[in-house]
Structure 1
Amino acid sequence: MREVAREAGVSLGQLQHYFSSRAEMLNFAIEFAADQTARRVTQGIAVLHQPPHPRDVLRVVLVEFLPLRPDARATSRMNAAYVVEAMHDPALRQQVAVGLRDGRAMVERLIRQAMSQGQIPANRDPAVETDLILALTGLAPLLELDVIEPEAALTAIDQYLDRLFCPAS
């Protein structure tokens, strides 16, 4: 908390006025990050042709989870810190797991809906496809550490989505 206070240019006492513990501060930060990501996703979907194609929705969601812009980079870093903290804190672990399961369920519902509408071949396993989509969010640390370029991440996303939404062969 001292480091956060120093970075924010406030005293530890001022920070503790708002957050009584590190966990409380981290919870606030992750809720803020989630709200910012949801806002960016909503804005991205709003500019799509309505009703949007599920492929386009999935692309917006994936792109907004990656650190491709300054606001998304801050969110990505908060998410990474939160997940690392959750690995060591059983109470936080449960909270993080619930949020991640909810997000996973939303993606799987979208895939199942696209399958029922014939936009994804019926021979695909929606659970596996959901996991593969979520695996693409693992590009975030590769981008943060300059292992891959943003264009490479976008190419990987587009190629996967093209394969997912191609007609059955």
Structure 2
Amino acid sequence: MPKAESEYKLIAQNKKAYHDYFIEDTYEAGIVLVGTEVKSVRMGKASIKESFVRVKDGEVFIYNMHINPYEKGNIFNKDPLRTRKLLLHRREINKILGAVTQKGYTLVPLKIYIKGSLVKVQIGVAKGKKLYDKREDIAKKDQRRQAEKDFKVKNLY
């Protein structure tokens, strides 16, 4: 039975991005890694908590993405926080550049995952939330949680 297109193994997710930003648009990008970094990512040793994405000279780069050094990699290990290039089509980069030049928009990494045999990064064009938007989201989440709790209690009896 062939694998479905959407099947992937999630490595890391940036939950804070969904709390701090409205995600307008998402893109799937490949990432340039060396062999020991790929092995480390496959073991789940990657983090995008403090990372950010920038467009520089018509290319897209991810900064501060942490990939733990592969323990069996010795001399082939690279700097864990090095800047890595993201692979996107030219028209996608142009579209992203157009969106990011607008006031208030930025690029944020949303998740890292393995799709097939490739390591992918999902990036999003995002607009920052104001404090009242965050409070509103928290209130909605609490309401939903309470409703689910009430529904569960009602169905037990």
Structure-1-length-normalised TM-score: 0.22
Q: Between the two structures, name the one with larger relative contact order (CA 8 Å, sep ≥ 6).
A: 2
Higher share of residues assigned strand: 2
Structure-2-length-normalised TM-score: 0.23
